[in-house]
Amino acid sequence: MEDKLKFIYRIHAIERMFERDISEQDIESVVFNGEVIKNYPNDKPYPSRLSLGLLWSNRTGHLNNDSVN
């Protein structure tokens, strides 16, 4: 069985996505195809990273995301 990533969005992220017309598909595009600009291994509660990539709407976007295994 293939593992599938599960995305969990914080309220703050959902509010920003709505304000900036960013879809879940846009987020997934940056996560899977974007470039990691910086890793933050000591962030709490989970390590995070800053990524830059192309959104489905042909705009560039950056996001800070946590990664939980």
* pLDDT digits (tens), the chain, 69 positions: 445 778 888 899 899 999 999 999 998 888 888 899 999 889 888 888 889 998 877 888 888 777 665
Contacts with 63 (C-beta within 8 Å, 6 or more apart), sequence order: 27, 30, 31, 34, 50, 51
Alpha-carbon distance 30 to 62, whole Å? 8
Give the chain's domain count.
1
Residue 22 falls inside a structural domain: yes
Residues 6+ apart with CB under 8 A from 38: 49, 50
What is the domain extent for residue 22?
A: 11-66
The answer as to whether 5 is a domain residue is no
Strands 35-40 and 48-54: antiparallel
Three-state DSSP class for residue 62: strand
Give the predicted TM-score (pTM) of the model: 0.74
